[in-house]
Amino acid sequence: MDVLVVHGGAGLWRSPSRRAKRELLAALDVGVAAFRRGSALEAVEEAVAHMENSGVFNAGVGSALNLEGVAELDASIMDGSSLRAGAVGCVRTVRNPVKLARLVMEHTDHVLLVGEGAELLASVFKLSKLPPPSRSRRAEYRRRLSELLEKPPFFMERNIELVREHGGAFLYGTVGAVALDDNGNLAAATSTGGLWLKLPGRVGDSALIGCGTYADNRGGACSATGVGEAAIRVCLAKRVVDLMLRGFSPRRACRTALREMLELVNLPNAVIAVDRRGGVAAAHTSPHLLWSYWRRGEQPRARTRGLHVS
């Protein structure tokens, strides 16, 4: 059974734009087409790459800028049939870090490469370059930096406070996808530009296997979004998959993992999941989550809420 689930990030926005919904559904179409050429792994890679290219989401072309006004991108991908995985962090020059993550998985002996080492691999394989930030993103960077400096403390808590105050400007986040193919193989992928105004060198959960991305054919696949530091502390994606491995439905696994996370780290996060039977779920502790899924015979639509966990 071919199943694909995609997300465009946990949100504090009131309503996503038509363009965001359109690009999310387009990513779903791209991923579905990839099933015909290959596997679940192809589907999640192509769906995420489309969202990286869209410029709408906080990934690839649309990535947030760090404290220095530079985009540093993270991504990962995982094959549930073999537990092979690849990831990259703090990449500044690569348009599609999810494609670079797959190169790490398939053409090196490593799982995670960061910074210049990851960019060297990208140059060997001639991956497309990341274009410079748009004028609007540069203006957004200057506004946020000014506000952050005016109202210390200069750390994550203040950054999240600004998100709540200016939700319209902090629209979309990390992107991700999970899939199950007709051969019973599962895969997951996640990509992000990270937190706005993060310290240079910060790596979030999207680059860390088990935190932002995990897939295991015995249980399921999961992609996480939200505040990466929270997902890292609880290994959120693997926690969801481990619960499915124990027999939990995707819905119950997502809800249980997020409730446990809230008890330990009270920061907004969200997850999407698919299990080995093709069941799907999306859950969030943030106000909203932009997501959608495709299953043969069902009509996909953009969704702005999943199971809200509080």
Active site residues: 174
DSSP secondary structure letter of residue 195: S
DSSP H/E element including 272? strand 269-275
Q: Which residues are bridge partners to 177 per DSSP?
A: 6, 189
| CB-count burial class (<10 Å; 0-12, 13-18, 19+) for 109 | exposed
Contacts of 274 (CB under 8 A, 6+ apart): 3, 5, 178, 179, 180, 186, 220, 221, 250, 280, 293
CA nearest neighbour of 307 among 240, 245, 233:
240
Helix (H, G, I), strand (E, B) or coil at 3: strand
Euclidean distance between CA atoms 90 and 76, whole angstroms: 12
DSSP H/E element including 124? helix 115-124
Euclidean distance between CA atoms 176 and 50, whole angstroms: 11
Euclidean distance between CA atoms 310 and 307, whole angstroms: 10
**Contact criterion met (CB below 8 Å) for 30 and 44:** no
